[in-house]
Amino acid sequence: MRLMAFTDEQLAQIRDAAQPIPRAHRAAYLERVTALLAGRQFGNRDVQRSGRIGAARANRSSGYGMTRVDRFLARVDRELASIEPVARDAFLSRLIDHWEQRYAIWQLTEGESESCTDPCNPISAEDFVLALTGLASSSFDLRIRNCP
């Protein structure tokens, strides 16, 4: 394994992103961050983005603080693992398109288009934004791993 050189600011970004992650899952977080940055030039923004992606994945895989969006994204991760590598990007693109359409309809109907099984926790714009951000993160992660 090749050594990576981080600035003090980059190390602080990595450490700060790891704070909410349970200790038992921090190794997986660090492996994700280094995998995203390996073999390429990176700056502070790249480290920060990789830290956010690594933290989101570590929290999802640990089940820590699972929301309905986290559970959805965990199902997407499991589905991606079962799909042929060449079809993964198309699968994520279709999911992103579908969620963008659902969000637009949700906005037009002021939330009436989505049924809610928990009246104490109705579906909100935040759910759509988090789902779309998670899907985009997965798509970005997939593209980074496929770059030379």
pLDDT digits (tens, 9 = 90+) for 47-97: 888 888 888 777 665 555 567 787 788 788 888 888 887 888 889 889 999
Which pLDDT band holds residue 4 (cuts at 50, 70, 90)? confident
* Residue-averaged pLDDT of the chain: 81
Alpha-carbon separation of residue 139 from 81, 96, 122, 144 (angstroms): 13, 9, 27, 9
Full-model pTM: 0.53
Q: C-alpha dihedral over 115, 117, 119, 123, to 10 degrees?
A: -50
Give the model confidence (pLDDT) of 12-29 as tens digits: 988 888 887 777 778 888
Longest CA pairwise span in the chain (Å): 53
Burial (CB < 10 A; 0-12, 13-18, 19+), residue 77, is: middle
Q: Where do the domains of the chain lie?
A: 1-65, 66-148
Instruction: Compute the average pLDDT of residues 103-112.
Output: 89
